[in-house]
Structure 1
Amino acid sequence: MTNEQLQIRVEQISHDFFKKPFIHKAYFNNRLRTTGGRYVLKTHNIEFNPKHYEMYGLDELDGIIKHELCHYHLHIGGRGYKHADADFKNLLRTVGGSRYCRSVKPEPVRTPARYMMLCQNCGMKYMRKRRMDTSKYVCGRCKGPLKLYKMEEANGTQG
């Protein structure tokens, strides 16, 4: 979807659901990371995260458009446009906009633990990515001495 198509879609949703015109600009902003869209108070423009459309499709984008248009029309009309305001919550419920958008962050790749510290008294295991000097630390449960194993050694000794 291009910015021109997005502009037409926002104007159409504004007309159909809010019965008011959208006379400012709507466009995609690739720099948005943690949000689906943003209503800019100073310019009255609305920015959208293109990743939401790419990952979840048109229905998700329509929900975000309705959400941002609630901010837009309430702010222009001098009513409560913030998330906590009753005017905003009521209008959002009326038009069927999304309260929250889904995450577009990829799941972080966790590096597996390479070391294991084992308490010599109680057997408590501490998994670590980095090697540690066990002479400086004791078990958090029983204060017993710790012994360091590489994961290959730890798997071999337990199995």
Structure 2
Amino acid sequence: MAKQTDNNGNGAKLGFESELWKAADALRSNMDAAEYKHVVLGLIFLKYISDAFEEQHAKLEAEVDSGADPEDPDEYRAVNIFWVPPDARWSKLKDEAKQPKIGKIVDDAMIAIEQDNPTLKGVLPKDYAHPRLDKHRLGQLIDLISNIGLGNKADRSKDIL
């Protein structure tokens, strides 16, 4: 059967669909779809808020002489961007992706984000340290998602879901 195309203009061309398929393939061999979708979507959300945070952080760094404080959570909340604590930032996860404890590192990042952003309390997945999740594949998944740019305002305005 031929692939249907969306002719109504409502579907956003995100530009990272192939990366998502690679991410799903990386987990598919040892998890069912109901499980790995939470793993992938949780990491994509973390990358999304971390990229948005980093974009705002760079702006605030440039405005330090004007009194901006890039490490003040209120600077981010004022523009509807989640505060991401230093140990929960994507760059830290990417640097630690090959470590055997990457699952715990991701879980700790999710917990820290929830603690600093009450609207996310109890929402984020925190089962990346579970034994059934292959840590090598989790590291590969983090590497794949690292190639997806979600931080700039144009990317954030797309309908991802």
TM-score under structure 2 normalisation?
0.30
- Between structure 1 and structure 2, the one with the greater Rg is 1
Q: Which one has a larger percent strand, Structure 1 or Structure 2?
A: 1
* Bigger relative CO (Cα 8 Å, ≥ 6 apart): 2
TM-score under structure 1 normalisation?
0.30
Q: Which one has a larger percent helix, Structure 1 or Structure 2?
A: 2
